[in-house]
Amino acid sequence: MTQEISLAILEILRETYGQVEPGLHYKNQYQLLISVVLSAQTTDKQVNTVTPVLFQEYPDFKSLAQAEITDIETIIRSTGFYRNKAKNIVMLSGIIISKYNGKVPDTLEDLTFLPGVGRKSAQVVRAFGFGIPAIPVDTHVMRVSKRIGYTTSTNPVEVERALAGIISEEDWIESHVLFITHGRSICLSRKPSCDRCPIYCYCDFVNNNP
């Protein structure tokens, strides 16, 4: 993958999908962080069905830190793994109150210190909560990146580095959302719609599976 081809791919994806937005609904850094933790092993759409109730009952870290875990479990049950998620968001709320003065930290080290927050989740918070250039690598970004030819690795950190080495820093956040959008709409996991793909001519997957 060259920078020239990458620029062409991104331009086509922009023309295809227009201005893209993250799938999670949130109004502030608190809501973003909690939503990201809840999004593990489920869809953004499913998270968005439970967070309005959750944030109405618990509008900030202080109230969530004082919540009964069983009450949280009831609200978020449909997101799956709800027991661990409920415990994590209550625990991380307490940590943010006690260690970070009630504010979401913005470094990878501090964010990944929080229960339920891995590197991808931390990068999502940094990108969309703070506007810090980052390319979070989820399953869609991983799949699209490999098929197009940015990388052959299955290691998320290596994929992130490969993308960051080719894509301009100013385009990192947008590229993340474009790849997710493309992965959800056309470059599907099991049956990609290659006949409808606007970037098929650049795709290693197509060229290697004629």
Tell me the catalytic residues. 120, 138
Tokens of 178: 């474009």
Using CA atoms, how far apart are residues 90 and 88, in angstroms rounded to an integer? 5
Distance (Å) of CA 193 to CA 29, 114, 138, 189: 36, 38, 20, 10
Residue 137 DSSP SS3: coil
Q: Which of 79, 74, 75, 66 is nearest to 37 (CA)?
A: 79
Query: Are residues 57 and 75 in contact, defined by beta-carbon separation less than 8 angstroms?
Result: yes
Using CA atoms, how far apart are residues 192 and 138, in angstroms rounded to an integer? 17
Query: How many CA atoms does the CB half-sphere of 92 hold within 13 Å?
Result: 28
Using CA atoms, how far apart are residues 30 and 55, in angstroms rounded to an integer? 9
